[in-house]
Amino acid sequence: MSADRERREILIATIADLLDGIRHVAVGASSPIPAAGAMLLRARNELCGKPPVRISILGSQAHNFFTNGGIELFDCAAQGRVDAFFLGGGQIDGQGNINLVGTGDYPTSHVRWPGSFGSAYLYHLIPRVILFREEHSPRVFVPKVDFVSARAITPEVPRRGGPYALLTNMALFDFDREAGGFALRSVHPPFTPADIMENTGFAYREPEVVCETKRPDAATLALLRGRIFDELAETYPAFARTMMRAA
Amino acid sequence: MTEIVGLEALAARVGPGQSLAIPVDGSGVAMAATAAILETGISDLKLICVPISGLQADLLIGAGCVASLETSAVSLGEAGGAPRFTAGVKSGAFTMRDSTCPAIYAGLLAAQKGVPFMPIAGIIGSDLLNVRPDWQVIDSPVGEARKVVVVPAISPDVALFHAPEADRAGNVRIGRHRELADLAYAAKRTLVTVERIVDRNLLESEDSAAGVLPSLYVDAIAVAERGAWPLALWDEYPADEAEIARYAAMARSEDGFRAYLSAFLTHRKQVA
């Protein structure tokens, strides 16, 4: 239980670090860990007098300032007013393409997932898309996705958006848009670079020395276990409860 | 003029073979009306989810009412995947028209503006373009020289949603859920269920009128208390998570789904 909480706290703190410098982050539905990361950044900026951070959490009333209906997030992204967003994927490949549709032959897929949501559009328009997928396994991280819901790189059209990083239960990767692939940045304790290699189905660059993902410091943990889980409880009561109970 | 009718009469206005547009969970989903529509034994619906759906689409699919499905996703949210949708895709029970959220809004916007298509940013490079031959990539005919995706207008035969209240003239309070207005502008006919009909005129002040869909766009209204249950209705009641989880578990099998459906329809009749 406590290991689970620690794992999640590392993910949340890592997300806050990845978001550093942004003005507006949007968080999709059913994403408690990204939402907590965004709230941590907002609280941290507030406490140290850095520029304020806006957060739009889909499905929340308190943390959502949109008034123009479901289309507003998409219009806002097209206008360059959303700096960061999170996408996942049933499959993610080494070129950064994501599959939210299914495996096997389309349309009668072998495994069918809910669908592409806004990914095909938002991937083009939001500069800092953080790919977040907790399960780190070869069935998720594949050489080539069976269906491209959203493509990471499209030289045929100008775009400001695309993948920025990939965060999993085991590691953090950077995405290099020039090279069109991932590079391992850090590995979460207790995993090793060999574990990452074994569980990743695509090729990626690995530095000579792989860092350990930074554990959140005492001040960050205090903020998380207090204010952040309180704020999170409005949208994700069950998740916030579990985290607070474990703390 | 907007007619105020009974729930069964409202449901009878949705006919077989029609395209039916429905909003995302939490926006105002007409679940009581969906039960009444299921009771009519409707078939061959062309369901359009704006831009995604959950329990409502899964029930209609499981009951065999859907011939084609246009959506960006079907999911029960925290309760997991939508079992009848997933099974239906695999068995080819309906024609699947995979989309992406803003493309559905763009199609509705084209219909709203009376033009045959709408250009939309992004999407290029996605396999959606391969499975949606009705979407095209064109060279922009004006402005910046670049490729752009165009999607055809979506003009649903019927839009159906649930809202907290309407006045006697048929004006409907939709709050900031402007996607409900987007649905109504684009649809040929709009059917709305509400928690209650109020005596005051919702257009009487700027404050109240700002969150209102005028009766011009509304063909018929029926009262259905707790009409979104087990889904949430903003400012009125939260989702019944336990009920949705119960559905998610039961609908994993065809038999379980049939049992749930039968109980759901009985429950709705008792409430009505």
Assigned CATH for B3-99+156-271: 3.40.1080.10
pLDDT for res A245: 83
Statement: residue B125 has pLDDT above 60: yes
pLDDT in tens, A99-122: 999 999 999 889 999 999 999 999
- Cβ of B122 within 8 Å of Cβ of A123? The answer is yes
At which residue do the structure tokens 């304790």 appear?
A189
Q: Is B96 helix (H, G, I), strand (E, B) or coil?
A: strand
How close does chain B come to A37, measured CA to CA in Å?
19
Mean pLDDT, residues A33-53? 96
| Contact by Cβ (8 Å): B101, A121 | yes
- Cβ of B180 within 8 Å of Cβ of A122? The answer is no
Of A109, A116, A158, the CB nearest to B90: A109
**What are the boundaries of each domain within chain A?**
2-88+118-134+151-187+215-246
For residue B272, what pLDDT band results from cuts at 50, 70 and 90? low
Residue among A157, A177, A234 with most chain B CBs within 10 A, to mutate:
A157
How far is the C-alpha of B113 from the C-alpha of B111, rounded, in Å? 5
How far is the C-alpha of A39 from the C-alpha of A45, rounded, in Å? 10
Mean pLDDT, residues B80-91? 96
CA A39 to chain centre: 14
DSSP strands (E only) in B85-219: 95-98, 117-120, 136-139, 147-152, 158-167, 172-173, 189-198, 212-213
Which residues of chain B are within 8 Å of residue A66 when distances are taken between CB atoms? 176
| Contact by Cβ (8 Å): A24, A54 | yes
Write the DSSP symbol of residue A141.
E
Of B127, B128, B177, the CB nearest to A69: B177
A2-88+118-134+151-187+215-246 has CATH 3.40.1080.10 classification: yes
| Contact by Cβ (8 Å): A225, A244 | yes
Token pair, residue A112, equals: 């069918």
Mean pLDDT, residues B155-176? 98
H or E stretch at B255: helix B254-271
| Contact by Cβ (8 Å): A28, A86 | yes
Which residues of chain B are within 8 Å of residue A238 when distances are taken between CB atoms? 78
Statement: residue A28 has pLDDT above 60: yes
CA A27 to chain centre: 9
Token pair, residue A69, equals: 């209906």
Statement: residue A2 has pLDDT above 90: no
For residue B250, what pLDDT band results from cuts at 50, 70 and 90? very high
Among B136, B73, B30, which residue's Cα sits nearest to residue A30?
Answer: B73
H or E stretch at A3: helix A2-18
Write the DSSP symbol of residue A143.
S
Q: Write the ipTM.
A: 0.96
Mean pLDDT, residues A159-183? 97
pLDDT for res B194: 98
Residue among A117, A126, A148, A235 with most chain B CBs within 10 A, to mutate:
A117
H or E stretch at A35: helix A32-47
Statement: residue B154 has pLDDT above 90: yes
pLDDT for res A246: 74
Statement: residue A193 has pLDDT above 80: yes
For residue A6, what pLDDT band results from cuts at 50, 70 and 90? very high
- In order of A139, A146, B256, the CA distances from A37 in angstroms are 26, 30, 39
- DSSP track, B210-247: TTEE-GGG--EEEE-TTTTTTS-BTTTB---HHHHHHH
A61 or B216, greater pLDDT: B216
- Cβ of B52 within 8 Å of Cβ of A113? The answer is no
How close does chain A come to B129, measured CA to CA in Å?
10
Statement: residue A1 has pLDDT above 60: no
Q: Is A169 helix (H, G, I), strand (E, B) or coil?
A: coil
How close does chain B come to A121, measured CA to CA in Å?
4
Q: What percent of chain B has pLDDT over 70?
A: 100
> pTM surpassing 0.80?
yes
Statement: residue B78 has pLDDT above 90: no
pLDDT in tens, A118-159: 999 999 999 999 999 999 999 999 999 999 999 999 999 999
**What are the boundaries of each domain within chain B?**
3-99+156-271, 117-152
- Cβ of B178 within 8 Å of Cβ of A156? The answer is no
At which residue do the structure tokens 């949210």 appear?
B77
| Contact by Cβ (8 Å): A170, A136 | yes
CA angle A78, A80, A84 (to 5 degrees): 105
How far is the C-alpha of A86 from the C-alpha of B52, rounded, in Å? 18
pLDDT for res A86: 98
pLDDT for res A247: 64
How far is the C-alpha of A144 from the C-alpha of A19, rounded, in Å? 28
The mean pLDDT of chain A is: 95
The mean pLDDT of chain B is: 97
Token pair, residue B106, equals: 């763009």
Collect contacts of B4-9 with beta carbons under 8 A, ≥24 apart.
B4/B166, B4/B168, B4/B170, B4/B197, B4/B220, B4/B221, B4/B222, B4/B223, B5/B220, B5/B221, B5/B222, B6/B222, B7/B32, B7/B33, B7/B36, B7/B193, B7/B222, B7/B223, B7/B224, B7/B272, B8/B36, B8/B39, B9/B220, B9/B222
Closest CA in chain B for residue A29: B77
- Cβ of A120 within 8 Å of Cβ of B90? The answer is no
Residue among B76, B104, B128, B241 with most chain A CBs within 10 A, to mutate:
B128
H or E stretch at B33: helix B31-39
pLDDT in tens, B216-244: 999 999 999 999 999 999 999 999 999 99
B111 or A245, greater pLDDT: B111
How far is the C-alpha of B120 from the C-alpha of B63, rounded, in Å? 34
- Cβ of A100 within 8 Å of Cβ of B78? The answer is no
How far is the C-alpha of B68 from the C-alpha of B48, rounded, in Å? 8
CA B57 to chain centre: 8
How far is the C-alpha of A16 from the C-alpha of A102, rounded, in Å? 30
Among A94, A105, A228, A130, which residue's Cα sits nearest to residue B130?
Answer: A105
How far is the C-alpha of B247 from the C-alpha of B204, rounded, in Å? 42
How far is the C-alpha of B14 from the C-alpha of B22, rounded, in Å? 12
Residue among B86, B89, B108 with most chain A CBs within 10 A, to mutate:
B89
DSSP strands (E only) in chain B: 3-4, 19-23, 45-50, 66-71, 95-98, 117-120, 136-139, 147-152, 158-167, 172-173, 189-198, 212-213, 220-223
